């Protein structure tokens, strides 16, 4: 069929009229109006645009035969790991100060005015600077599985230093209540062992790993100390020990040293000439919520000046600390300790129960209940003289306060307050008020308040500032 030129033009006009409403909806409102004149044999511009949008894109031309394919972009290279920090970057300096007071509302009735059963808070109703602790250290990196080495130097000035001396080291450097002592001077190392967590070593002078409470005041829940800490365990050692991390659940301890609170050399830094030994283990269970540290330290400990055959007989110091984290706020800790001196056939046996409850980010509530038995009156002793602890350790004469035997108990309630919003230099401030009741459960002689009462009550608080 042959269509006339007029008929084709009319048909094109009809198609343009049909598609123009759709094109009008998609066009911008600001598009200018266009007068389209349809010439015979032409296509309206709007229809041409619509057909162009609907047409599929032309395929990319195939590469010529024998031509190399276009290169594919390589994936971005992973970022290079950060360079490890230099060893010296881990060296830290720290200063810590602890001051406090223990108030006893009952008169002592004697010239000593001592809180019997308390060593570090022994002076009643008297403000004391217990510790000015200065530390420089490079701690081992717990995340580094490779060989690592560190060190720690720590010195103390204050009233606590009366009890923390190493024999033969600064013993009479300062007289009076305020004394100076070294707490730590050691080198540490982590040695990798295949298929295990490796071995951590410590060699030099260091606080004992036995017990729950520690010399550093910031590591304890209370200002005052337990009978176990005061009378049943060593404080410091000179020697070395290792911790073998056999599995994530089992750690083994072993070491050798010169004894409790001694250095090296009979008559110079050691009150006898025999070594002592450390052994034990630590268990970590329930995803870390339950731990049990069980250690024993054993060897001759009596001074040859007072006990000529001191090297013949061991003193066994056994301690177990079991900690259970009940939930994010509540933790229970039980400490059981038994020390036996074979020469004097004396036993010191104690059990202490701790509980802590985190009230909020600033306040933790703490409680401690303890029972301690000294069956010969050998362990629970106090020396009023400021040099008394050192003289006693050497076996030299000094005034000593004690009773033939005793059952002791103490019940302490307190809190740790860490205020927030302080300037940076006070960010480590801690305040620890407490109330403590000491009571004899047996024994022939009253010991408290000037040896006239079987019960003693004290209110105390300290303040710790860390820099």
Tell which wins on pLDDT, 148 or 52: 148
Yes or no: say if 100 and 430 are a contact pair by the CB < 8 Å rule.
Answer: no
- Using pLDDT thresholds of 50, 70 and 90, give the confidence band for residue 142: confident
Residue ranges in 293-440 assigned as alpha helix (H):
388-394
Distance CA 108, CA 116 (A): 10
181, pLDDT greater than 90: yes
145, pLDDT greater than 50: yes
Yes or no: say if 233 and 164 are a contact pair by the CB < 8 Å rule.
Answer: no
What average pLDDT does this structure show over 282-311?
97
In sequence order, what are the beta bridge partners of 279?
254, 296
Structure confidence at residue 164 (pLDDT): 97
- Using pLDDT thresholds of 50, 70 and 90, give the confidence band for residue 61: low
Distance CA 336, CA 153 (A): 30
pTM flag (> 0.85): no
Return the minimum-mean-pLDDT range out of 21-30, 55-64, 378-387, 448-457. Answer: 21-30
Q: At what angle do helices 5-26 and 45-54 cross, to 10 degrees?
A: 60
Burial class from Cβ neighbours inside 10 Å (0-12, 13-18, 19+) for residue 257 reads buried
- Using pLDDT thresholds of 50, 70 and 90, give the confidence band for residue 132: very high
Here the contacts of 22-26 (C-beta below 8 Å, separation 24 or greater) are 22/50, 23/49, 23/50
- Using pLDDT thresholds of 50, 70 and 90, give the confidence band for residue 288: very high
Q: Which residue is associated with the tokens 């990196």?
A: 141
Structure confidence at residue 45 (pLDDT): 44
What average pLDDT does this structure show over 280-306?
97
Structure confidence at residue 207 (pLDDT): 98
Distance CA 52, CA 44 (A): 13
Identify the CATH homologous superfamily for domain 89-466. Answer: Porin (2.40.160.10)
Structure confidence at residue 267 (pLDDT): 80
Structure confidence at residue 450 (pLDDT): 87
Structure confidence at residue 80 (pLDDT): 66
Structure confidence at residue 15 (pLDDT): 39
Tell which wins on pLDDT, 388 or 67: 388
Structure confidence at residue 270 (pLDDT): 94
Dump pLDDT digits (tens) for 237-257: 999 999 999 999 999 999 999
Yes or no: say if 346 and 378 are a contact pair by the CB < 8 Å rule.
Answer: yes
In sequence order, what are the beta bridge partners of 435?
413, 459
- Using pLDDT thresholds of 50, 70 and 90, give the confidence band for residue 443: confident
Dump pLDDT digits (tens) for 351-396: 999 999 999 999 999 999 999 999 999 999 999 999 999 999 999 9
Tell me how many degrees the CA angle 282-284-290 measures, rounded to the nearest 5: 110
What average pLDDT does this structure show over 424-447?
93
Structure confidence at residue 427 (pLDDT): 84
Q: What secondary structure letter does DSSP report for 286?
A: G
Dump pLDDT digits (tens) for 414-428: 999 999 989 888 888
Distance CA 234, CA 253 (A): 17
35, pLDDT greater than 50: no
Structure confidence at residue 76 (pLDDT): 66
Structure confidence at residue 175 (pLDDT): 79
219, pLDDT greater than 70: yes
Dump pLDDT digits (tens) for 85-131: 899 999 999 999 999 999 999 876 667 788 999 999 999 999 999 99
In sequence order, what are the beta bridge partners of 132?
97, 157
Closest to 260 (Cα-Cα) out of 233, 222, 230: 233
- Using pLDDT thresholds of 50, 70 and 90, give the confidence band for residue 40: very low
- Share above pLDDT 70 across residues of the chain, in percent, rounded to a whole number: 81
Distance CA 45, CA 26 (A): 15
Structure confidence at residue 245 (pLDDT): 98
* Segments making up each domain of the chain, as ranges: 89-466
How far from chain centre, in Å, is Cα 335? 18
**Per-residue b or e along 147-157, where b marks 16 or more CB atoms closer than 10 Å to that residue's CB:** ebebbbebbbb
Structure confidence at residue 67 (pLDDT): 52
What average pLDDT does this structure show over 155-162?
97
How many residues in the chain? 467
44, pLDDT greater than 50: no
- Using pLDDT thresholds of 50, 70 and 90, give the confidence band for residue 30: very low
293, pLDDT greater than 60: yes
- Mean pLDDT (the chain) is 87
What average pLDDT does this structure show over 444-461?
93
What average pLDDT does this structure show over 435-449?
93
What average pLDDT does this structure show over 164-183?
92
């Amino acid at each position: 069929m042959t269509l006339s030129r007029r008929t084709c033009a009319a048909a094109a006009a009809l198609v343009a009229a049909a598609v123009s409403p759709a094109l009008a909806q998609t066009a911008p409102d600001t598009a200018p109006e266009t007068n389209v004149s349809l010439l015979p044999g032409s296509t309206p511009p709007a229809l041409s645009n619509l057909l162009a949008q609907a047409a599929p894109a032309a395929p990319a031309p195939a590469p010529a035969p024998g031509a190399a394919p276009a290169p594919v972009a390589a994936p971005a290279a992973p970022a290079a790991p950060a360079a490890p920090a230099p060893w010296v970057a881990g060296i830290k300096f720290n200063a810590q100060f602890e001051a406090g007071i223990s108030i006893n509302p009952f008169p002592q009735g004697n010239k000593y005015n001592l809180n019997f059963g308390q060593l570090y808070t022994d002076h009643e109703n008297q403000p004391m600077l217990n510790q000015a602790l200065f530390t420089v250290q490079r701690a081992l990196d717990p995340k580094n599985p490779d060989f690592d080495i560190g060190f720690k130097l720590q010195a103390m000035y204050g009233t606590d230093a009366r009890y923390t001396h190493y024999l033969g080291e600064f013993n009479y450097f300062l007289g009076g209540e305020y004394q100076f002592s070294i707490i730590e001077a050691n080198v540490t190392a982590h040695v990798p062992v295949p298929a295990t967590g490796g071995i951590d070593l410590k060699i030099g002078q260091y606080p004992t790993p036995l017990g729950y409470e520690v010399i550093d005041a910031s590591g304890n829940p209370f200002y005052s100390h337990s009978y176990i800490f005061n009378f049943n365990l060593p404080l410091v050692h000179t020697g070395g020990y290792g911790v073998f991390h056999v599995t994530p659940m089992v750690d083994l301890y072993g070491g050798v040293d010169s004894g409790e609170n001694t250095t090296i050399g009979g008559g110079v830094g050691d009150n006898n000439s025999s070594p002592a030994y450390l052994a034990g283990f630590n268990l970590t269970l329930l995803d870390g919520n339950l731990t049990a540290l069980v250690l024993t330290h054993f060897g001759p400990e009596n001074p040859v000046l007072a006990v000529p055959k001191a090297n013949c007989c061991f003193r066994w110091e056994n301690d177990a600390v079991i900690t259970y984290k009940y939930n994010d706020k509540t933790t229970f800790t039980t400490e059981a300790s038994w020390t036996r001196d074979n020469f004097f056939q004396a036993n010191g046996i104690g059990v202490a129960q701790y509980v802590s409850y985190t009230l909020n980010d600033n306040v933790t509530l703490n409680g401690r209940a303890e029972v301690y038995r000294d069956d010969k009156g050998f362990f629970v002793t106090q020396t009023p003289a400021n040099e008394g602890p050192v003289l006693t350790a050497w076996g030299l004469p000094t005034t000593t306060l004690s009773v033939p035997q005793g059952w002791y108990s103490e019940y302490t309630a307190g809190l740790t307050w860490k205020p927030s919003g302080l300037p940076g230099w006070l960010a480590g401030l801690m305040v620890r008020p407490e109330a403590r009741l000491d009571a004899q459960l047996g024994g022939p002689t009253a010991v408290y308040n000037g040896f006239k009462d079987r019960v003693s009550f004290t209110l105390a608080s300290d303040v710790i500032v860390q820099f």
